[in-house]
Amino acid sequence: MQEKVFEIRENTEIAKDVWEIRLTGDTSGMDKPGQFVNVSLPGFFLRRPISVCCVKGQELTLIYKTVGKGTGTLATLREGQLNLLTGLGNGYDLERAGNAPLLIGGGVGVPPLYELARQLTARGLKVQVILGFNSSCDVFYEEQFHDLGCDVTVTTVDGSYGMKGFVTDALEGRVFTYYYTCGPMPMLKAVRQKCHGDGEFSLEERMGCGFGACMGCSCKTTGGYKRVCREGPVFRKEEILWEN
């Protein structure tokens, strides 16, 4: 964990209440897809955890949804600096991918899968991606995944874009070697029930500190309680003790 200052380059709305902020600074220590940063905002005591979408050289891309006063304030920033705690969390394990991995993302669970897809396709792997949203106005980053060479399927709950239904409805007949997923807990539970074989899950939890001190984001695992911010957010499927 390191505290660093980044310069704001762009901060634009890319879907309904979904923003992409591009920053420049020292990106060392952010080498594993699935990691996150903790953003300090003026006037707020607690930092905001945001997953890393992409790291290229000194450029860092974050995607966030405006759901409260903190992220609402972040969306108003167009220039200046942001103080970030970086290198947080345990990322996805690329070595388990096999030659045909499947990535499954729902809503704001999509961003960390982009950096994962970028690194997997750079290895020459055939990457399949399922992106799930509520409606057409919520869809983002479909073209960016296409540009990486991924086989992309988009689902919307209301059927206004892509395939109607949930991400699990797009799993029928899929052949893959390993899967990676990130999204809300109901989606993760459904994926676990539908997806056979091995996989990794990135959990979404409220975090107080973001680096394991407060124990506020603990979850039950086969190895006892573990902190989503420290030992996670990525866990292997068999580690998690799923509650109904």
DSSP run (H or E) holding 160: none
Q: In whole angstroms, what is the distance from residue 20 CA to residue 1 CA?
A: 23
Within 13 Å of residue 233, how many CA atoms lie on the same side as its CB? 30
pLDDT at 205 over 80: no
Q: Which of 41-45, 172-176, 211-215, 216-220 has the highest mean pLDDT?
A: 172-176
3-class secondary structure, 18: strand
Residue 232 has pLDDT above 80, yes or no: no
Q: Is 243 exposed, middle or buried (0-12, 13-18, 19+ CB in 10 A)?
A: exposed
Q: What is the chain's mean pLDDT, rounded?
A: 92
pLDDT at 223: 80
Q: Is residue 12 pLDDT above 90, yes or no?
A: yes
Q: Over 70: is that where the pLDDT of 244 sits? A: no
Q: Which of 96, 121, 237 is closest to 177 using CA atoms? A: 96
Average pLDDT over residues 86-99: 94
Q: What is the pLDDT of residue 204?
A: 75
Residue 171 pLDDT: 95
Note the pLDDT tens digit of each residue in 32-43. Answer: 999 999 999 988
Question: What pLDDT shows up at residue 214?
Answer: 62
CA atoms within 13 A on the CB side of 156: 13
Residue 242: per-residue pLDDT = 78
Structural domains present in the chain:
2-88 (2.40.30.10), 94-202 (3.40.50.80)
Residue 47: is its pLDDT beyond 80?
Answer: yes
- On the question of a cis peptide bond just before residue 233, with omega within 30 degrees of 0, the verdict is yes
Distance CA 225, CA 209 (A): 17
Confidence of residue 176 (pLDDT cuts 50, 70, 90): very high
Q: What is the pLDDT of residue 213?
A: 65
| pLDDT at position 209 | 61
Segment 154-172 shows an average pLDDT of: 97
